[in-house]
Each structure stands twice: as structure tokens, then as C-alpha cells.
Amino acid sequence: MARAPVLPALLCLAVLALAGGADARRKMVGVYELKRGDFSVKMTNWGATIMSVLVPDSKGNLADVVLGMDTLAEYVNDTSYFGPLNGRVAQRMARGRFVLDGKVYHTYINDGKNAIHGGKRGFSKVIWTVKEYVAGGDSPYITMYYRSFDGEQGFPGDLDVYATYQLTGPYELSIRTNATALNKATPVNFLQHVYLNLGGEGSGDILGHTLQLSASRYTPLDVEMLPSSGRVDPVAGTSYDFRTPMPIGARIRQVMGGKVYGYDINYVIDGEGMRKVAVARDGKSGRALELWANQPAMQLYTGNFLNHTQGKGGKLYEQYGGFCLETQAYPDAVNHPEFPSVTVRPGQVYKHDMRFTFSF
């Protein structure tokens, strides 16, 4: 069967969604393009998802460096988290449970015995309202809004969330997110789950990409991918050490991301504030990426569970077909008082900023 093409910008699909956890109403899901010269980014307000990033290589050839799918319907049914903004609390939470101000909360369990990425209907599985959209010019952008209601997926309190995606410079994509707790204290941790392949999506694996991380420490994870020990260990002398540029595949058979070989590990980023987190480079295409962010940590994931996964244009994504650089708070911080707190109290504002700069 022929696959439908990606819908053009401003062509919308009507879908039924629950608004505010109460009355059902119709909202519109659309595809929105940000374009500056030959650099373009396509988004959808389903899950505040990055669908594509078009970047030239060293010879001027354009390629999409983001893994994904062709149709909005596929994104709605996606289980690989291709490109969305995850929340209210991204990453894994042990047993989907936490205690806040003496009260026990139980969230939706959707990863074995644990919760992941905000539950079954986290922020990646909701329709965001497009507040502003400027497609072109020197600094095109889109701002999306979502009201997360009290009790959604088990989390306390109403939360106002904004996410702005903007082309802030030549081949530079900035993402600014903020969330305000309205009436109850709540944990908050967002991450952007875009899969990257600087050689072009579907071009093969990323094992030959070189990677450098501004991280001298990491949090060891157990077989359930939880930091159950609460330890923060140095990367020196381990296969997790990317302080100097190293091919991703050089030591990938020495680490386990759950029950398979590959990286799925949280790094503690050196320094504070907005700072350089990672530099990745593909020697064949000449494309490189520099990531800056203001979060304390970052999860490196190397697409360990991609396995004949349906991608764009009939392509199949195989293991290690893409990698994710997920800036975030420490995983399962709600259950580890020794980690930096992720609690946002009424009137406080959570802020998470990222900047992806491509070169070639």
C-alpha cells in the first residue's frame, strides 16, 4: 500500500481530544514549517513534536537528519517517542510512585513496573494549542501551550506549559520551555526526544559518529534503568567517558542499555546555567551538531530498541539508526532526595532551554 505524504503546513487534521480532563471537544492537529534559507524544521502540535530538520552537508546536499514518520496518524500511534516533548515528568519513575509534602501519589505505570515519560498520556500524547506562528523571516518561530490538569496521569495540580521552537541563527534551532504550577506543588521534568542521524535519517547507523560530552560524572542505572543506588560516579576509566571525542560505536559492546548493548545512560553535565552539553560529528557528510542547555543532566540513548521500525519514505530504522541527547533533570529524582529537586511550587516557574547548532 502506498504511504501518504507528510501534510503541508497549515493543512490540519481534525481529531477528538479531552480538554481539561472534562468535556470532549474538537481540536486541530497540523504541521508547521519554520524556514530560514535552506534550513528548515517541521513541527506538529501533536506532542510538540519535531518531525524533520533539513540541513546541508559539506557539499551542499540537503538531508533530513531527524528520524520519524510520514503521517500525523503514525505520530499519534507512535510508541518510539520520535521527536516529542515528554512530560509532566519525563524519564523513568520507580513504581510510578512518589511522596510530596507527606502525601503519596501514584502515576500511570507504562514501563513494566514503572512509569516513563509522564505516563500513557503524557505531554507527547496530547494536542498543544498553537499560540503564535511565524513561518519565515530572520527568526521564524512557533509557540505552543498546554494546560495539564490536576490529577492528569496521577500528578498533582494544574500546570501551564509553554514551548517555543525558533530558528534563532543560521542553522540554529532554539527550544524554550516553561511551566508554572498554579495551585499545588508538583514534580516537573521535560525532555526533547528527537532522534538524530547526521548522515541523514535512514542512511545507516550512527556508530561512526564522534561524540564529545561535557560530563565527568554519570548516574549508574540498574536492570530496570533506574538510578536505584543513588550514586553519582566518575566516568573516568569507564566506557561512558566521552570527555574527548570518541566514535559512539567504539565501546558500545561494553555497555548495556537495559537488556541490550548500547547507551541509555544519564550524564551529569559539568557546570551550571546555559552551557555546552555535547558535540557530535558525522565524518562522511561533514555535518556536526553542538548542543547547549541549562539542565543538570542529559540522557544519551543510541536507538538500542530500533528494530525494523517503520520510518519515512518506506525506510526501516534498525538498531543504532539514531541517537538522542535528552537534556533533563536527574532521572527518578522524585524518589531520591540526594538528587537536585524537581519540585515546582505554586507560582514558581520551571524553565528548560536548549539550543541545537548545526554546521557542515
Per the CB < 8 A criterion, the answer to whether 155 and 186 are in contact is: yes
What pLDDT was estimated at residue 3?
33
Q: What angle do CA 306, 310, 311 make, to 5 degrees?
A: 95
Q: What are phi and psi of 161, to 5 degrees?
A: -125, 135
Per the CB < 8 A criterion, the answer to whether 192 and 326 are in contact is: yes
| Residue of 193, 134, 195 lying closest to 166 (CA atoms) | 134
Spot the catalytic one: 193, 209, 336, 352. Answer: 193
- Span 39-74, pLDDT tens digits: 999 999 999 999 999 999 999 999 999 999 999 999
What is the DSSP secondary-structure string of 144-200? EEEEEPTTGGG--S-EEEEEEEEEEETTEEEEEEEEEE-SS-EE-B-EE---B-TT-
| Residue of 108, 63, 83 lying closest to 202 (CA atoms) | 63
What pLDDT was estimated at residue 258?
82
Maximum separation of any 2 CA atoms in the chain, in Å: 59
| Residue of 110, 88, 276, 262 lying closest to 186 (CA atoms) | 88
pLDDT at 15 over 80: no
pLDDT at 6 over 50: no
pLDDT at 235 over 90: yes
What pLDDT was estimated at residue 351?
98
352 is catalytic: no
Q: What are phi and psi of 43, to 5 degrees?
A: -130, 160
106 is catalytic: no
User: What confidence category does residue 22 fall into, taking pLDDT thresholds of 50, 70 and 90?
Assistant: very low
Spot the catalytic one: 33, 172, 201, 326. Answer: 326
- Span 170-192, pLDDT tens digits: 999 999 999 999 999 999 999 99
What is the DSSP secondary-structure string of 78-94? -SS--SPEE-SB-SEEG
| Dist. CA 24–CA 41, nearest whole Å | 31
Binding-site residues sit at: 193-195, 264
- Span 95-152, pLDDT tens digits: 999 999 999 999 999 999 999 999 999 999 999 999 999 999 999 999 999 999 999 9
Binding-site residues for beta-D-galactose sit at: 193-195, 264
SS3 236: coil
Residue range 80-84: average pLDDT? Answer: 98
- Span 242-270, pLDDT tens digits: 999 999 999 999 999 888 999 999 999 99
All 3 cell numbers of residue 91? 524519564
| Residue of 266, 314, 241, 212 lying closest to 92 (CA atoms) | 266
Per the CB < 8 A criterion, the answer to whether 281 and 198 are in contact is: yes
Residue range 315-339: average pLDDT? Answer: 98
- Span 260-303, pLDDT tens digits: 999 999 999 999 999 999 999 999 999 999 999 999 999 999 99
What Å distances lie between residue 288 and 48, 303, 356, CA to CA?
Answer: 24, 19, 10
What pLDDT was estimated at residue 277?
98
pLDDT at 94 over 50: yes
When the pLDDT of each residue in the chain is averaged and rounded to a whole number, the result is 93
Q: Cell 561533514 identifies what position?
A: 286
Q: Cell 553535565 identifies what position?
A: 269
What pLDDT was estimated at residue 135?
97
**The one-letter amino acid at 140:** P
| Dist. CA 302–CA 55, nearest whole Å | 21
All 3 cell numbers of residue 287? 555535518
Per the CB < 8 A criterion, the answer to whether 74 and 3 are in contact is: no
All 3 cell numbers of residue 300? 544519551
- Eight-state DSSP code of residue 314: G
Backbone conformation region of residue 241, classed left if phi is above 0, alpha if psi is from -120 to 50, else beta: beta
User: What confidence category does residue 206 fall into, taking pLDDT thresholds of 50, 70 and 90?
Assistant: very high
Per the CB < 8 A criterion, the answer to whether 324 and 196 are in contact is: yes
| Residue of 217, 226, 235, 234 lying closest to 336 (CA atoms) | 226
Q: Cell 504550577 identifies what position?
A: 181
Residue range 209-217: average pLDDT? Answer: 98
